[in-house]
Every structure is written in structure tokens, then in C-alpha cells.
A = this chain, B = another copy of it.
Amino acid sequence: MEGADNSIFVGTKPFMNYVTGVVIQFTTKDAKEVLVKARGKFISRAVDVAEIAVKRFLKDQIRVQSINIDSEEFENKEGKDVHVSTIEIILERI
């Protein structure tokens, strides 16, 4: 996990787990930056996590530094090309 410690991958767990994860990184772990990442349909959730952390839980303490989107293309079991979008939201301490 070393080096990837300040990344939060948003998926199927309860929503508040991810928000708490961000808060702990910035508080207990004293991170300067936290990366909120997601793929496919979880992208909307990653944006929710970032917004709730920035606007409520760590209001006036962190902000969105930058947002990157990208794609992964791969072949599924049926040999069909599949496209999955990804997002990376970088939050930083103010």
C-alpha cells in the first residue's frame, strides 16, 4: 500500500466510508494531497465524495486542486472492445 496511501478508490462500499477516508488522510495522516479515484458508474459517486468533503466535512480546509479524466480500453470475455472512463480528483490542503 506504500505510496498509494493517499488514494481513495470509490466503489460499492457505504458512501460515508469514502468521505471518512478522505477526512482521515487530511487529519490523522496529515496528508497534503488526497486522490479520489473511480471508474465507470462510480465516477458520479467520487464527485459526491469530493464535494461533501470539500463543502461540509473539511470546509475552508481543503479544495479541489485538479481533475483528470481518462479511459481504459480492454477486450471482454466475449472478445468485444469495452471502454471504461476513469476520474482522478486531487484534493489539497488550503
Residues in chain A within 8 A of chain B (CB atoms): 40-44, 47-48, 50-52, 55, 64, 67-71, 83, 85, 87, 89
Chain B residues contacting A52 (CB-CB under 8 Å) are 83
Query: B89, A48: Cβ atoms under 8 Å?
Result: no
Among A41, A48, A50, A70, residue most surrounded by chain B Cβ atoms (within 10 Å): A48
Query: B47, A69: Cβ atoms under 8 Å?
Result: yes
Write the nearest CB–CB distance from A42 to chain B, whole angstroms.
Answer: 7
Chain B residues contacting A85 (CB-CB under 8 Å) are 44, 47-48, 51
Complexed CA–CA distance, A67 and B65 (Å): 11
What are the 4 tightest A-B residue pairs by CB atom distance, in nearest-first order?
A43-B44, A67-B67, A47-B85, A51-B71
